[in-house]
Amino acid sequence: MELITGTLDYADFSDADIVIEAAFEGMDLKKEIFGKLDAVCKPGAILASNTSTLDVNEIAASTNRPEDVIGTHFFIPANVMKLLEIVRADKTSAEVIATTMKLARTIKKVGVLVGVCDGFVGNRMLHAYFGEAQALVEQGALPQQVDKALYDWGFAMGPFAVMDLAGIDVGWRIRKGKEATRDLSEPYNSTVADRLAEMGRFGQKTRRGWYIYEEGSRVATPDPEVEQMLITVSQEKGITRRQISDQEIFKRCMYQLINVGANILEEGIAMRSGDIDVIYIYGYGFPVFRGGPMFYGDVVGLKEIAADIEKFHSEHGSSWQPSDLLTRLATDGKGFNDK
């Protein structure tokens, strides 16, 4: 700790070998920061962004040295979580990639190289996972039932407990930033999460979120107010609430991860299915004994999973569009590890 000093002057970064920006998720702010870093940092310095969702190519374009710009997505809490998503932009040099991968090992992180897309690998998959969890509670499940079904299977935490830990306001601010430009045909399963954020219920840090937390406690207590809000939203959307089994909860959340992971593989955002598994084990509390979402898909068998995804697609619409890669591998009797 004695090696750490604070400064308000960008000029103090002039002799740094690497600078990691960790401002909140606002593209204009990040471009402003990188423009200032470009002006003061020495030639060859690596300019890294801790962004969890934003386009690293756009950030790099705000500098005169895009070959030196890379994403270094640390995971919360950064002093505990081992994962480091290393995001290569289109013009990032091989030397910068190699140096950053080595840096991950030096600071005892597990570095995984990924490409640029909205949310990269981990958060792009998480968005679909959270969206499905929220669809389930609008259709009749309760947050505590969804969380228990996934926790009992082996996850470190269920999705609603994770949202409360990370802060409901984080996703809310990201959604607000994209609202003006998002495709209106895409599902938008965050009605209740948005209402909670608008009420100032940001999760554990405000002791109110999907759950209630007593002063000084991290124990989640179900909140009747949230349950009533879910009933109201269901009525507003014309949804008839029903009993949903733990098995359906598990399959819909897990198979969203697998289906989106297959799209990421096909697009080349991840180089190997094993990279996705490493990301989920080290960054998202996926049970290590299950081997990761893509490995688990191979264990179950992609033919069986593809059949369930087709069923969910017919029942729940476009958020369940089957991955071309998954469908192709299932038809050929192969798994992700055969790709």
What is the set of active-site residues?
73
Q: Is the dihedral of CA 137, 139, 141, 146 positive or negative?
A: negative
**Cα gap 311→38, rounded to integer Å:** 51
Close Cβ partners of 169 (under 8 Å, ≥ 6 residues apart): 197, 202, 203
What span, in angstroms and rounded, lies between the C-alpha atoms of 261 and 302?
A: 13
Q: Do the Cβ atoms of 257 and 246 come closer than 8 Å? A: no
Q: Give the CB-side neighbour count of residue 214, counting CA atoms within 13 A.
A: 3
User: Could you tell me whether strands 211-212 and 110-114 are parallel, antiparallel, or unpaired per DSSP bridges?
Assistant: unpaired
- Could you give the CA distance from residue 220 to residue 17 in angstroms, rounded to a whole number? 43
Whats the size of the chain, residue-wise? 339
Within 8 A by CB and 6+ apart from 84, the residues are: 72, 73, 74, 75, 104, 109, 110, 111, 112
- The Cα-based distances of 79 to 34, 84, 108, 109 in angstroms read 25, 12, 10, 10
Q: Is 331 exposed, middle or buried (0-12, 13-18, 19+ CB in 10 A)?
A: exposed
What three-state secondary structure class fits 84? Answer: strand
Q: How far apart are alpha carbons 152 and 260 in whole angstroms? A: 23
Element (H, E) at 227: helix 224-236
